[in-house]
Structure 1
Amino acid sequence: MVEIILIATFFLSLAVIRLTTRKWDFPRSGRIAMFAMLSFTALGHFMFPKGMAMMIPPFIPFRLPLVYITGLLEIAGGIGLLLPKFRKITAILLIIFFVIITPANIYAAMHHINLQTAAYDGNGPAYLWFRLPLQVFFIAWVWYFNLRKP
């Protein structure tokens, strides 16, 4: 679902920018799309906090507050990409963030965690065949539209 939001928002914003400025602005469309995707994923932190907390290994303290904090960080990251002054540092921090949250996705898959129902009936390890490449895609997206030298 998040990949659909990312791609659809990219093409929609690309078309709107083209219609309003008569120019193609791929980097700006990429940043708008990542903002939309991060805003959507942040919603999960507030809609399904118990399930999201279950994704974090038990040895990490304050799991529920951490879920709320990371939701806020996702929103801040999306906004930061839209602000030229903060774009590069935000991109670097988002890449680090995507790397840091990867173990939570692995843990959730290995323990069959269903974040929406806060139960142990999730997709399991097969989910990683989709999720891990998706994390790499998100990292590449942030790098390409924010840090790459044209």
Structure 2
Amino acid sequence: MQHLDHPLSRALLSAAYGAAGILHVTRADIFLRIMPPWVPFPRETVIATGLCEMAGAIGLMIPRTRRLAGVMLALYALCVWPANVQHAINDLGTDTGLGWWYHVPRLLAQPLIIWWALHAGGVTDWPFRPRRPQR
């Protein structure tokens, strides 16, 4: 199955993951507050996730590694979902945190982010795949 090339989708996602990765590495303290308590070595985990985001961003831009980067970024987005849930739980119980207006769309967008990584990596063209003529 041949997949279409998605340079804009890939560039946007690569930029987003690259920026997030830089933030995770340079401002780990921001992300420590949303780490679930069961995650070991929280600071090191935040920095490692930032490095993974940067590697994925670079990998999306290299044709030879694009597909693998798309799959790994999709798995990454799945793995960090618990931190997003923890962030919502922490914030929604206070008056100082972000409200429902942020957390509900963010949590609901996670499947879209997973799909976007697969799409940008050329793993799937759904729902943009051209239809085959019926015989």
Q: CA deviation at 1:47?
A: 4.0
Q: Which residue is 1:127 aligned to?
A: 102
Greater relative CO (CA pairs within 8 A, separation 6+) = 2
Q: Distance in 2 between matches of 1:44 and 1:130?
A: 21
**Residue 53 (1) aligns with residue 32 (2):** yes
**Equivalent in the alignment of 1:98:** 77
Distance in 1 of aligned mates of 2:101 and 2:90: 12
State, as a whole percentage, how many aligned pairs show the same letter.
27
Q: Would you tell me which structure has more helix in proportion to its own residues?
A: 1
Per-residue CA deviation, residues 6-56 of structure 1 (Å, 9 max, x unaligned), is: xxxxxxxxxxxxxxxxxxx86112111111111111232134312201211
- 2: CA distance between counterparts of 1:46 and 1:144? 26
CA deviation string 1:75-127 (max 9, x = no partner): 100111111111111111111100000110110110119xxxxxx93215553
**In structure 2, distance between residues paired with 1:26 and 1:81:** 12
Q: Distance in 1 between matches of 2:80 and 2:96?
A: 21
Q: Which runs of 5+ in 1 are unaligned?
A: 1-24, 114-119
Q: Which runs of 5+ in 2 are unaligned?
A: 130-135
Q: Displaced runs of 4+ in structure 1, greater than 6 A? A: none
Q: How many residues align?
A: 121
Q: 2:19 aligns with which of 29, 40, 64?
A: 40
Match of 2:132 in 1: none
* TM value normalised by structure 1: 0.71
Q: Is the 8 A contact 1:39 1:78 kept in 2?
A: yes
User: d(CA) in 2 for partners of 1:128 and 1:38?
Assistant: 19
Q: TM-score, normalised by structure 2?
A: 0.78
**Alpha-carbon distance between aligned partners in 2 of 1:142 and 1:51, rounded to the nearest angstrom:** 24
For 1:61 and 1:121, how far apart are their aligned partners in 2? 27
